[in-house]
Amino acid sequence: MEGLSKEFKYYTKELGVKNSLKNLFYRKTLTREAVKEVSFSIDEGEFVAFLGPNGAGKTTTLKMLSGILYPTDGFVSVLGYKPYERKKEFKKKFSIVMGQKSQLWWDLPASESILLNKYIYQVEDDIYKKTLAELVDLLNTKHVMNVQVRRLSLGERMKMELIAALIHRPTLLFLDEPTIGLDIETQKRVRDFLKYYNEYHKTTIVLTSHYMKDIEDLCNRTLLIAEGKLIYDGSLKQINEALNQNKIIKLKFSKHVAPDQLQNFGAIRYSDSYQATLEIPREQVNIRSRELLHQLPIEDISIEDIPVEEMIISLYQRNRTP
């Protein structure tokens, strides 16, 4: 896609009956640019992270790529189709899963909704049976297939959402916060499944998530969007190399060490009697480490990169409109 943009028009209204009557004849129209000239391309089989703060334009972009929304401006082509034309052939080739919206019928077993998708997508019987058996086995859901969706745990429901989305074997999968609200163990199981499915079936996957573990474990490429604009396209490793000019040194002491004893070694991020965290320029790490070991009662020392989350926040802040 190239130069993809989306604007939303909305109206303001002041409080009171008088202003309500006034709005019948005149309303002030405002325009919000949700997506601003975003351009990128994704190759077949890629697993791409699409990140940004709340309100950055992630979901709006996914909705335009899937044909739910019509773009205000720009060119977009997905699998050789214009998504907003919503051709039947296109809709058979992709699927979208939103962590906060369900496609399953609440009062029916998930198996009923999955069977409905079989008929909607016109999946042949033998392919349906084979695909369902594979997905049920991979996600370990055989024991809850015939349980009402309302009685399933959040993790079980998300697994069922994935089965329903993949039952027609789409070549493109959009995932919008698929692990939101899940416990750590279930998050890992979902990640393991998605990683396997992407590698085995070569399905192209675009993922939005606020959990950095999802991105680090699954995606080789990251797209960052802020205030509707694409601000980065590359790997997480490249973000770290480009922005990570400092290192984090974590210390444990065998004796009490006051904060004023640490000031000459670097910026103090945290300090108490027996632990401290310092931020030190990358080029000074070796010499500062030796000085710390020589001058202080160090019991344990570790050197780490600044967390990726901080790198991404730094990128957002650099590109924020004043």
Portion of the chain with pLDDT greater than 90, in percent: 59
Q: 221 lies in a domain?
A: yes
For residue 1, give the nearest of 82, 83, 63, 75 by alpha carbon: 75
83 pLDDT band, cuts 50/70/90, is very high
Q: Average of pLDDT values for 117-144?
A: 95
CATH code: domain of residue 254: 3.30.70.1150
Q: How far apart are the C-alpha atoms of 282 and 311, rounded to whole Å?
A: 15
Q: What is the pTM of this model?
A: 0.80
Q: How far apart are the C-alpha atoms of 189 and 210, rounded to whole Å?
A: 17
Count of domains for the chain: 2
Amino acid at 251: L
Q: 194-200 contacts: CB < 8 A, separation 24 or more?
A: 194/47, 194/218, 195/47, 196/138, 197/138, 197/166, 198/45, 198/47
**Mean pLDDT, the chain, integer:** 89
Same domain for 285 and 151: no
131 pLDDT band, cuts 50/70/90, is very high
Same domain for 269 and 156: no
Same domain for 284 and 140: no
Host domain of residue 206: 43-240
CATH code: domain of residue 194: 3.40.50.300
Q: Average of pLDDT values for 133-161?
A: 93
Q: pLDDT tens, 152-184?
A: 998 999 999 999 999 999 999 999 888 888 888
Same domain for 233 and 174: yes
Q: 14 lies in a domain?
A: no
Same domain for 289 and 220: no
Residue 316 above 90 pLDDT?
no
Residue 246 above 90 pLDDT?
no
Sign of CA dihedral 176, 148, 169, 200: positive
Residue 304 above 70 pLDDT?
yes
For residue 95, give the nearest of 157, 176, 154 by alpha carbon: 176
Q: 28 lies in a domain?
A: no
Same domain for 192 and 50: yes
